């Protein structure tokens, strides 16, 4: 299909969905954006070059639906109801050739459950999570190397044609949708562990009267060591959420300890004289 005649709908127009919709528009496709928040839709219509709406009936049947809605937690458990909710809506408009790509962060098993239970196995469905870093959207935005996993071969072929063929995004192919789902939350857990180690080390340095930054600079001269900074605790949205997504799959002593270290570090910081 010619790029100009392809219809793409981006669902969820927040920090991820907005730049995704812009990028797809810049590639020459017809783009519609949908979000439940009127304020977000207004922001998108002011700043974006695609049409945004909070009225689902205004969204035409699209060739591709990109799901970028909120995923969160309730009582420490993954809360994916927005993803299920919008996929239910998409199923009303989808045909067997439609590509549905879940870009929101989810737990392993989500894409396949949605494929069978909501789409009755009648669409192409892939998971292509983000590595977006809002502070560096040029280098670490929508089109950096990403991973993709699919529920079957046809879906993978459709997803690869869209991402690499149409959007020019380099994709690493995972053996299944589940590996792609696990990959995203594992990456962020890995980062969480690295920072928690730096926090632990900084507290240890405090106890033995050693300069943490001096030690860090010395260690980081080694080729395979990269101890990050220890700042104000492990914040923002994704790292604390994604490590808990991994822990919701199975117990992990190491990840449990990292959460405890971060909590202890925050208490330690608050007691320190500046």
C-beta of 115: minimal distance to ligand NAD in Å? 18
For ligand NAD, which residue has the nearest CB? 14
Which among 99, 94, 96 is positioned nearest to 111, based on CA atoms? 99
CB of 241 vs ligand NAD, minimal distance in Å: 6
CB closer to ligand NAD, 37 vs 45: 37
* Closest separation in Å from C-beta 36 to ligand NAD: 4
Nearest-approach distance from CB 48 to ligand NAD, in angstroms = 13
**Which whole-number Å values give the CA distances from 7 to 58, 104, 162, 216, in the listed order?**
13, 20, 12, 51
Q: What angle do CA 65, 110, 135 make, to 5 degrees?
A: 65
Q: Which is nearer to ligand NAD, 82 or 179 (CB)?
A: 82
Q: How many other CB atoms are found less than 10 A from the CB of residue 148?
A: 25
Given the complex with ligand NAD, which of 85 and 248 has the nearer CB atom? 85
Shortest spacing between CB 274 and ligand NAD, in angstroms: 30
| Spatial distance between the Cα atoms of 98 and 8, rounded to a whole number of angstroms | 10
- Helix ranges (H only) for 10-106 are 17-26, 38-47, 81-93
List the strands of the sheet with 171-173, edge to edge: 51-53, 30-34, 7-11, 64-67, 99-102, 124-127, 146-150, 171-173
Question: Minimum distance between the CB of residue 34 and ligand NAD, rounded to whole angstroms?
Answer: 6
Q: Which is nearer to ligand NAD, 70 or 227 (CB)?
A: 70
For residue 236, what is the DSSP state?
A: S
- Reference 239, options 18, 60, 73, 49; nearest CA is 73
Shortest Cβ 20–ligand NAD spacing (Å): 9
Structure tokens at 232: 């104000």
Nearer CB in complex with ligand NAD: 191/268: 191
Tokens of 158: 């459709």
Pick between residue 21 and residue 123 the one whose CB is nearest to ligand NAD: 21
Q: Which is nearer to ligand NAD, 111 or 201 (CB)?
A: 111
Site residues, ligand NAD (CB under 6 A): 11-17, 35-37, 40, 68-71, 82, 85-86, 104-105, 130, 132, 134, 238
Rounded to whole angstroms, the Cα distance separating 49 from 259 reads: 41
Structure tokens at 45: 């219509």
């Amino acid at each position: 299909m010619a790029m100009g005649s392809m219809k793409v709908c981006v669902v969820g127009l927040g920090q991820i969905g907005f730049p995704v919709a812009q990028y797809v528009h810049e590639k020459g496709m017809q783009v519609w954006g949908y979000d439940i928040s009127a304020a977000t839709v207004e922001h998108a219509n002011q700043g974006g070059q695609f049409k945004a709406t909070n009225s689902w009936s205004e969204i035409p049947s699209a060739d591709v639906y990109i799901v970028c809605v909120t995923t969160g937690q309730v009582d420490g458990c993954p809360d994916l109801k927005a993803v299920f909710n919008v996929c239910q809506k998409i199923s009303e408009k989808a045909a067997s050739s439609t590509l549905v790509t879940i870009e929101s962060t989810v737990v392993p098993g989500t894409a396949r459950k949605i494929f069978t239970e909501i789409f009755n196995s009648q669409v192409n469905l892939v998971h292509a999570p983000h590595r977006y870093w809002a502070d560096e959207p040029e280098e670490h935005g929508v089109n950096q190397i990403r991973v993709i996993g699919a529920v079957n071969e046809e879906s993978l072929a459709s997803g690869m044609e869209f991402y690499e063929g149409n959007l020019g995004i380099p994709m690493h192919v995972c053996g299944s949708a589940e590996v792609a789902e696990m990959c995203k939350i594992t990456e962020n857990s890995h980062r969480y562990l690295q920072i928690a180690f730096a926090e632990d080390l900084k507290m240890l340095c405090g106890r033995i009267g050693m300069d943490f930054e001096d030690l860090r600079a010395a260690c980081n001269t080694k080729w395979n060591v990269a101890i990050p900074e220890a700042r104000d605790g492990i914040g923002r949205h994704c790292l604390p959420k994604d490590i808990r997504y991994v822990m919701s799959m199975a117990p992990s002593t190491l990840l449990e300890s990292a959460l405890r270290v971060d909590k202890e570090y925050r208490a330690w910081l608050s007691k320190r004289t500046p």
